[in-house]
Structure 1
Amino acid sequence: MSAVAIIGVAGIVKRPFCTLLCCLPQTWNWRNTGRIYDFVTCTEVAEYFHQPSREFRRLDALLRPGGWLALMTCFQSDDTRFADWHYRRDPTHVVFYREATLRRLAGRHGWHCEIPCPNVALMRKESA
């Protein structure tokens, strides 16, 4: 049976083909039950991480070898416009990512990183 975790919406959804673990950014204080997933999405959540290093270790623990982490957040790309950037003005957004930051983060965790389109990173955990 495949397992999928979706981080960014509320509730837990179970289907015959997969299990979806879901939580809101404000309720990210989940407990790792030891379950691992083939695919985890982190959609409009990573910008709320007060301790990104810890949170990405937690996400890594959710991924099975060969599993995927899909991350979507508004990438910070233009220093000259940062002061007026709408994303920065949201007081709940406490951390911002560049493409290079996500590639480095992926390397630190042994993930392969692809940026298929603006504001989306797909990271694949090494197979065992």
Structure 2
Amino acid sequence: MEQLEIKQILSDAGADYNKGLERFMGNVALYHKFLLKFLDDTSFASFKESFAAGDLELAGKTVHTLKGTAGNLSLMRLYGAADEMVQAIRGGKSMVELEPLAKQVKEVYEETCNAIRTSLRA
């Protein structure tokens, strides 16, 4: 797949491709390598598990890690969803209030991962 196509797919999923590439000093292969490594990151799985168990302290830590990783890779839509969740947990929101945010994180995470798979895995 050509780089313009890859950029479009990732941008449609909320990535700031140019900013991400800039973070990797313009090294396309390295940026793509780290995007693929993101698919193996366990932060989201840990967040989902701890949130489902009602462990908001651990859920807050794991979604914060997810936020940081997303930010470093310029996956801005995921960064925003994770940040909103972090702030809500820190703000003491109830599980009922957090449920829609957790659902949003899940949806954006899945969309992001699908875009990475579609564009970078041949």
TM-score, with length taken from structure 2: 0.29
Which of 1 and 2 has higher RCO (CA within 8 Å, sep 6+)? 2
Select the structure that is richer in helix: 2
TM-score, with length taken from structure 1: 0.28
